[in-house]
Amino acid sequence: MSEKLNLPIRARRNRKSEAVRGLVRETVLHPSDLIYPLFLHDAPQNDPIASMPGCHRWSLEGLVNEVGAAWNAGVRAVVFFPKIGETFKTPRGEECFNPDGLIPRAIRAVKSAFPGITVITDVALDPYNSDGHDGVVERSSSGELKILNDETVALLCRQALCHAEAGADIVSPSDMMDGRVGQIRSALDAAAYEDISILSYTAKYASAYYGPFRGALDSAPKDGDKKTYQMDPANRREALREAELDVTEGADILMVKPAGPYLDIIRTLRDAFDLPIAAYQVSGEYLMIKSAAKDGWIDEEKVAMESLLGIKRAGADMILTYFAKDIAARLGERN
């Protein structure tokens, strides 16, 4: 028999039962923390997305049904990503501000079916741009690519206005052009849309984790990469600089993307700024969990839950995740 240790302090006392663990729990996920990203296309059927098991490119009707299912599970915010037909893509992506385009129609359909849901829209040119970049591409005679900042920002303002007119609650620039938050804020205010919020992709990294998403939308850059506008994964201080700019330009919420591999960046922005912080658990993070679970190596629900809890514990107030509907439903059952 071993002797009793003289241990007045025993950390395990606070873990002795589920009830005690509940009392001392520091971070709790709620369905209202989650934002559900949804893909849509201009077609009558719903197509499963091969690179993102469990996700679909929804028809307008399918989208409304899926938003309804998410609403019933407790999700209160959605964000839309369109797959645009090749024939609509142009170098300047003008389809992005067509008032009868796919996104404005989706906003109207979803808001009329579920007026209480928050509709967020992605502001960037890549789904509409024939070069597959988030901005307008200029090619030098030697074939080098340049993504034109100021010209792109003017187009993004028209896109944001178009979404606001259709009834979006929040516009979310994901393009990483300089100055776009301030310009979009002024454009919205000048058109009396001062109540439309801006959720800025503040620290969006040039990440390989976006691969499955680009497969879903057929939106991969045709040429070159996104490293002249998205951030270098090696940099942390630069995220503070981007955040300062977004704060002064009038962003309402700051986002870090991807989420799981960038928990330190979430924490850094949480500690340095008072604004709410969003984090995007991107397609590659989702696919890794889905794939490992499909082969039976990990428990999908438990790992998804733990990954989201980790993101929230790091300092995110809200999380964009393809697990939103399923996890919200599960959280609801527990209460």
| Positions marked catalytic | 204, 257
Please give the residues from 304 up to 333 whose contact with ligand PBG meets the rule CB under 6 A: none
Question: Quick check: helix, strand or coil at residue 172?
Answer: strand
Task: Determine, following the binding rule CB under 6 A, whether residue 166 of this chain makes contact with ligand PBG.
Answer: no
- CB 311 within 8 Å of CB 266: yes
Apex 65 CA angle, 169 and 47, nearest 5? 105
Residue 282 touching ligand PBG (CB under 6 A): yes
Q: Which x/- pattern, by CB under 6 A, does the window 46-85 give for ligand PBG?
A: ----------------------------------------
- Smallest distance, ligand PBG to C-beta of residue 278, A: 13
d(CA 152, CA 155) in angstroms, rounded, equals: 5
Tell the burial category of 26 from Cβ atoms under 10 Å away from its Cβ (0-12, 13-18, 19+): exposed
Binder among 36, 88, 128, 213 for ligand PBG (CB under 6 A): 213
Q: Which is nearer to ligand PBG, 197 or 207 (CB)?
A: 207
Query: Residue 44: phi, psi to the nearest 5?
Result: -80, -15
124 binds ligand PBG (CB under 6 A): yes
- The least CB distance from residue 33 to ligand PBG, in Å, is 18
- Residue 183 or 219 with smaller CB distance to ligand PBG: 219
Q: In this chain, which of 122, 131, 169, 249 binds ligand PBG, going by CB under 6 A? A: 122
Q: Minimal CB distance to ligand PBG: which residue? A: 213
Tally of CA atoms within 13 A in the half-sphere of 300 that contains its CB: 17
Q: In sequence order, what DSSP letters do the residues of 225-252 get, joined into one string?
A: -STTTSBPTT-SHHHHHHHHHHHHHT-S
DSSP H or E stretch at residue 62: helix 60-73
Tell me if 126 contacts ligand PBG by CB under 6 A.
Answer: yes
Q: From the CB of 192, what's the least distance to ligand PBG, in Å?
A: 27
Q: Is residue 309 within 8 Å of 259, Cβ to Cβ?
A: no
108 is a contact residue toward ligand PBG (CB under 6 A): no
User: How would DSSP label each residue in 141-164?
Assistant: TT--EEEEHHHHHHHHHHHHHHHH
Contact 52, 93 (CB under 8 A): no
Query: How many chain residues touch ligand PBG (CB under 6 A)?
Result: 11
CA angle 108, 112, 118 (to 5 degrees): 80
| Closer of 113 and 148 to ligand PBG (Cβ) | 148
Residue 14 Cβ, how far from ligand PBG at the closest point, in Å? 37
Applying CB under 6 A, the span of 13-21, 206-214, 271-279, 289-297 interacting with ligand PBG comes to 206-214
Binding positions for ligand PBG, rule: CB under 6 A: 122, 124, 126, 134, 174, 210, 213-214, 226, 282-283
